[in-house]
Amino acid sequence: MKFSYNKTEKLKSKKLIDQLFSEGKSVSAYPLRLVYLPTTFTEDISAKTGVSVSKRNFKTAVDRNRIKRLLREVYRLNKPRYFNNISTQYAFMILYIGKEKPTIDQVEKRMNHLFDKFRMNTLESENSK
Q: What's the total number of domains in the chain?
A: 1
More confident site: 10 or 1: 10
* Cα(46)–Cα(15) distance, integer angstroms: 19
- Quick check: 18 and 97 in contact, CB under 8 A? no
Residue 101 lies in a domain: yes
Please say if the pLDDT value at position 106 is more than 70. yes
Tell me, yes or no, whether 126 lies in a domain. no
pLDDT in tens, 11-33: 999 999 999 999 999 999 999 99
User: How far apart, in whole angstroms, are the C-alpha atoms of residue 68 and residue 72?
Assistant: 6
CA angle 108, 81, 65 (to 5 degrees): 35
Q: What is the CATH number of the domain that holds 90?
A: 3.30.230.10
- The reply to whether 89 falls in a domain is yes
**Residue 122 lies inside a defined structural domain of this protein:** no
Domain with 61 in it: 7-116
Confidence of residue 129 (pLDDT cuts 50, 70, 90): low
User: Could you report the per-residue pLDDT of 34-89, keeping only the tens digit for each?
Assistant: 999 999 999 888 899 999 999 999 999 999 999 999 999 999 999 988 888 788 89
Question: Does any domain span residue 16?
Answer: yes
